[in-house]
Homo-oligomer: A and B are copies of this chain.
């Protein structure tokens, strides 16, 4: 019997990263989930991450404190209003105030460090080039450049004993496609959390970019949306 290889999965407990984790598991990897506590307004997200990781029976779950708020520049970590009710065309082309500077670069770098310690060659990230076309660090060119850099950064890779691979199974899927994929893999999306501006009880606002995309995904997939939204005012 061959040992199952480990894979580091960047994991927020949201719809995308949870589906990504389910894909890693379905491909035979032992998923090692990596979450960050980066001064999110929505620390509700971390509760969801713990809940989903437990439900998916991950091999390991590391929650790393990462005070990106000290760097500044984002509505997710600083005191800037989360944009609401933006139309889909604007969402696709304009980078919103919720953009965290160099976020995926920083997250992938820390995933690379953990992968090296774990002896894992595989890193999964749930980036998506369709819904987030305004974010350069969600594009395939960026991912390819990161992978090339990673293979020059890690001793075992430079010496040819392993090859780091960045897996992006959601890269070319629509939100509806992600909902369908997750559902086919048995993901309980009722446990996941996507909202940028939830209530303290974890109810989703239904109006931030993340909620709007998520709602549209369930609608287009024709799958019932299990998200608990806050009552309309």
Contacts and interface: CB of A to CB of B under 8 A. Distances in A.
B117 A112 contact: no
Nearest to A139: B152
A101 B113 contact: yes
Interface in A143-199: 145-146, 148-150, 152-155, 157-158
- Tier of interface size on chain A: 35 or more
Contact of A136 (B64, B114, B146, B155): B155
Contact of A148 (B72, B145, B158): B145
A110 B106 contact: yes
A18 interface: no
A113 B109 contact: no
Contacts of A100: 113
A157 B142 CA distance: 12
A154 B137 CA distance: 7
Contacts of A26: none
A67 B62 CA distance: 12
Contacts of A101: 112-114, 116-117, 154
B152 A145 contact: yes
B66 A62 contact: no
Interface of A: 62, 64-68, 70-73, 95, 99-106, 108-110, 112-114, 116-117, 135-137, 139, 141-142, 145-146, 148-150, 152-155, 157-158
